[in-house]
Amino acid sequence: MAEPEPIGPALTRATERLRAAGSPSARLDAEVLASHAVDRDRSWVLAHPEATLDAEAAARFVAAVERRAAGEPVAYIRGFKEWQSMRIRTDRRALVPRPETELLADAAVAEIERRLAASDATITAWEVATGSGAVAVFLARRFRTAVALGRVRLVASDISPDALELTAENLAEHGVSDTVSLACADLLEPAGRSLPRPDVVIANLPYVASDQVDARSGSLGHEPRVALDGGPDGLAVLRRLFGQLETRARPAATVLLEIGADQGPAVAALAPRGAEMAVVPDLAQLDRVVRIDLPD
């Protein structure tokens, strides 16, 4: 059991340990892990350097710092990530949702709203490769009423049963389990069941090249390979999705994809024939989301 000690010096030591282990955000990580250990928010930790960590909290803090020093993402250690102002449960079963994926979720909301305003038809929005389910939870909370009124149908799928288990937990935690149909599916091909063809496809597919996944270090090394590995050029899963669109998506469907910042031109070259494509840059003006409108 660790000795009780004031938070201030414990933070300093943890920061040094994490810096030596190569964490790019050592001080911030230490503060967040200390707040986790004492079950208070970070501002409380910063305002009370003199407060004593009792032996149990000190032990929790040391254990958390050692996990972080071994490269584990802070979100796995805490068990959640703040994303789109929601608390999303996170663990080794799925990728930690990234800040840049908020742009994809916002684009999905805007497209579903545009379609709701344009016609009375029921809109099926399908999030492929849902992982932790962060985007699906966000859409379910936003369109809960539209789903209840039969205006929107939401589907979320993943090929990984482990990830889907976590998705289900996150949907339940946010009280929206009955708003989203979950499916184990290879992209738009669910195993052994038929689902409505989507009007809107939303996907953050694995898009890291396999050799970069082989060489990964730090936090990435703790996340599931299936969530990252996009084949030799990072685009293999996306190519397969494009190959399914003609038969699996509705005519005139919109496909919203998160891509790697340097993948815009390559994705444009692969876009299905007759489709229109536009890139939505993020705040740093990096290519981040691709919008593809399929022909009628």
Ligand X SMILES: C[S@@+](CC[C@H](N)C(=O)[O-])C[C@H]1O[C@@H](n2cnc3c(N)ncnc32)[C@H](O)[C@@H]1O
Residues near ligand X (CB under 6 A): 94-95, 97, 101, 128-132, 134-135, 158-160, 163, 185-187, 204-206, 226-227, 237
Taking the complex as a whole, the smallest distance from the CB of residue 287 to ligand X amounts, in Å, to: 16
By C-beta, is 26 or 205 nearer to ligand X?
205
The 3-class SS string of 214-275 reads HCCCHHHHHCCHHHCECCCCCCHHHHHHHHHHHHHCCCCCEEEEECCCCCHHHHHHHCCCCC
Reference 180, options 199, 157, 154; nearest CA is: 154
Instruction: Kindly report the number of other CB atoms within 10 A of residue 191's CB atom.
Output: 10
For residue 24, what are its two tokens? 């790019």
* CB closer to ligand X out of 97 and 234: 97
Question: Closer to ligand X at the Cβ: 61 or 138?
Answer: 138
Q: Residue 69 or 108: which CB sits closer to ligand X?
A: 108
The CB-of-25 to ligand X minimum distance in angstroms stands at 20
The distance of closest approach from Cβ of residue 226 to ligand X in the complex, given in angstroms and rounded to an integer, is: 4
CB of 235 to ligand X, least distance (A): 13
Q: Among 132, 118, 184, which residue's Cα sits nearest to residue 155?
A: 184
DSSP label at residue 218: G
- Nearer to ligand X (CB atom), residue 94 or residue 213: 94
CB of 220 to ligand X, least distance (A): 11
Query: Which secondary structure element, helix H or strand E, spans residue 104, and what is its range?
Result: helix 101-118
**65 vs 202, beta carbon nearer ligand X:** 202
Smallest gap from Cβ 137 to ligand X, in A, equals 11
Q: Regarding beta strands 276-281 and 287-293, do their DSSP bridges make them parallel or antiparallel, or are they unpaired? A: antiparallel
Question: Which residue's C-beta sits nearest to ligand X?
Answer: 131
What angle in degrees, to the nearest 10, is found between the helix axes of 7-20 and 55-69? 20
Handedness of CA 102, 106, 112, 116 (dihedral sign): positive
Q: How far is the CB of 2 from ligand X (least distance, A)?
A: 34
Strand 200-203 versus strand 123-128 pairing type: parallel
Work out how close the CB of 114 gets to ligand X at its nearest, in angstroms, rounded to a whole number.
22
Q: Which CB sits closer to ligand X, 30 or 108? A: 108
Instruction: Determine the Cα–Cα distance for residues 168 and 262; give it in Å rounded to an integer.
Output: 33
Map tokens 């919008």 to a residue. 291
User: How many CB atoms are closer than 10 A to CB 45?
Assistant: 24
Cα Rg of the chain (Å, integer): 21
Amino acid at 204: N
Decide whether 57 or 256 has the Cβ nearer to ligand X. 256
Q: How far apart are alpha carbons 180 and 153 in whole angstroms?
A: 7
